[in-house]
Amino acid sequence: MAAIVIPARYGSTRFPGKPMHPISGIPMLERVCRIARAVRNCSRVVVATESDPVADFARTFGAEVVMTSDRPRNGTERVFEAVSAADIRDDIVVNLQGDAVLSPPWVLEAMIEEMVRDSHIQAITPAVRLDETALASFAAHKANNKSSGTTVVFDANSNALYFSKQILPFVRTPGFTHVYRHIGLYGYRQKPLADYCRLAPSPLEQTEGLEQLRLLENGMKMRVLEVDYRGRTHASIDTYDDVKFAEDIIAREGELF
């Protein structure tokens, strides 16, 4: 079993009050909590926030809430604070970002199952392979939303080599695509999570704005798990512009819960 922690920060500079913003009539944070509750191999779902308004709002729909400080610089650091504050005993802790409104429960289940299967995995994150059509759509969306979407490259043992907001690798030969879109979900064992949070923000992490690069720059391993979205479209909410994009997906594909 594993615990899911949902970091939900009120003070986003790009999108203040984001956790309470409605997506197709359901507030963003409530959507994410519903997804987490649908994960079969999860023992506990905890919302971690520094904000009293977010905490009060989360309690209106029955969420377990733990208050964290305003010191965390990213979601992973907030998850680490929550583990202690909420006395989470599970060895596996999943970071489900509070804006990940279209994360299928079966993807989270697959991450947990893989960590249970292989006790050597320190940290895990999912990715989906993009075919030519999906890659063209991904590139078109990024043209107008440069900070949206991340790609990952990994070694023969499925351990991450690099994550980037650029599309990696460069596709030299048309028709041969080996591009994986990174899905911003993370599973950690408690010790590597603590080790990560003792490290200072790293140069590549600060350059790309990608928290997971801190692990790679310090020699830690992160397993990349290829997952099947079963025809669903991935999206998360970074800016106001992403709301309409996510709502259009929900209108086409229906709800995940």
* pLDDT value, residue 107: 98
Q: Mean pLDDT in the chain?
A: 94
Give CATH superfamily name and number for 2-253: Spore Coat Polysaccharide Biosynthesis Protein SpsA; Chain A (3.90.550.10)
Q: Is 157 exposed, middle or buried (0-12, 13-18, 19+ CB in 10 A)?
A: exposed
List all residues 6 or more positions away from 60 whose beta carbon is below 8 Å from its beta carbon.
none
Each residue of 58-111: pLDDT tens digit? 999 999 999 999 899 999 999 999 999 999 999 999 999 999 999 999 999 999
Bridge-partner residues for 44, per DSSP? 3
Each residue of 143-154: pLDDT tens digit? 888 888 899 999
160-199 residues labelled b (16+ CB within 10 A) or e (exposed): bebbbbebbeeeeeeeebebbbbbbbbbbbbebbebbbee
* pLDDT value, residue 11: 67
More confident residue, 208 or 177: 208
Counting residues of the chain whose pLDDT is more than 90, the rounded percentage is 82
- Give, for 2, the enclosing helix (H) or strand (E): strand 2-7
Each residue of 19-56: pLDDT tens digit? 999 999 999 999 999 999 999 999 999 999 999 999 99
CA distance 38 to 107: 11
DSSP state of 159: B
Is residue 256 within 8 Å of residue 102, measured between CB atoms?
yes
- The phi and psi torsions of 13 (rounded to 5 degrees) equal -70, -30
pTM above 0.75, yes or no: yes
Residue ranges covered by each domain of the chain: 2-253
Quick check: helix, strand or coil at residue 36? helix
* pLDDT value, residue 16: 84
Each residue of 68-81: pLDDT tens digit? 998 999 999 999 99
